[in-house]
Amino acid sequence: MTAMGPLAEPDLAGQLGGIASRLIDIAGCVASEAEAATMIVRGMTDHANRVALLAAGLETAAALIEEAVRQQADTLMLARSALTTNKPVIDALEQSISGIASINATIAGIARESQVLSLNARIEAARAGPESGAFGVVAAEMSTLAMRTKDATDEIANRSSAIVHDVSAASEVVTSHGVLVLEQDELLAASLTHAMEQRQTAQDLAVITAETVATVDQAAAAIGRVGANAVAVKVLARQLTRLNK
């Protein structure tokens, strides 16, 4: 037994030395890999921070778009209110023009009757001879008045026709604008919904990015601890090598 003791000790020392050398190599590799992983994780953190900035910018842009859409909706509401207010006015104007046309037709009828009466009066005056001079003057004045009345009613009819045309065009414009306002209202409502969804998506992205950054930081800390432990193992292995000498 005493003869084998000296042989066993060198073998054990050699085995410990080999193990220590192997541990040094492994610890060096682990430390190197941990350092490389730390650099990668730091790069991931930088990327995550940039994504967070982009998400914040996207949220701000979405909020601005949402505010702009709301302002457009308010403006469109005012336009819709104006159209609602003006439509009855135009309808009333159309009815007034119809009333004017009716009155003008009545006046025109009276003018025609006056012309007939004037013509009959002139005929009677001609039959009565010189003694009906005053009657003839009255008949002539009636004829002149009837002609002036006819000219006035014709002018009123022409102007009424022009007004009817303009009012009809205005009514069509109001109607078409009303349809356009409804379409724009629907588009703005859809745009507002999309803007709100975009802002919510940006907020969710910011939350996810913040969680990612926190997770990456934890991973970086864990990798740092692994690297530190690898360095500690390397130091212990070198101390073990010195003890075997």
* Cα first-last separation, the chain: 24
**45 contacts 217 by C-beta, under 8 angstroms:** yes
Residue 33 within any structural domain of the chain? yes
pLDDT of 177:
73
Residue 14 within any structural domain of the chain? no
Can you give the CATH number for the domain in which 142 is found? 1.10.287.950
All residues at 6 or more sequence positions from 177 whose CB lies less than 8 Å from its CB, including other chains: 79, 83
Q: What b-and-e string marks burial along 121-145, b requiring 16 or more CB atoms within 10 Å of the CB?
A: bbeebeeeeeebeeebeebeebbee
Residue 6 within any structural domain of the chain? no
Domain count, the chain: 1
pLDDT of 10:
56
Residue 147 within any structural domain of the chain? yes
Residue 8 within any structural domain of the chain? no
Residue 95 within any structural domain of the chain? yes
Residue 216 within any structural domain of the chain? yes
pLDDT of 44:
78
From first to last of its 245 residues, what are the pLDDT tens digits of the chain?
444 445 445 566 667 677 777 777 777 788 787 788 778 877 777 877 787 787 788 778 878 887 887 887 787 777 777 777 777 777 777 777 777 777 777 877 777 777 777 777 777 777 766 666 666 677 777 777 777 777 877 877 787 777 777 777 777 777 777 777 777 778 778 877 887 888 788 888 888 888 887 887 888 788 778 878 777 877 777 776 776 65
Q: What is the dihedral of CA 161, 108, 137, 129, to 10 degrees?
A: 130
Cα–Cα distances in Å, from 189 out to 30, 76, 240?
A: 58, 11, 76
Range of the structural domain that residue 168 is part of: 20-244
Residue 29 within any structural domain of the chain? yes
Query: What's the pTM value of the predicted model, to 2 decimals?
Result: 0.47
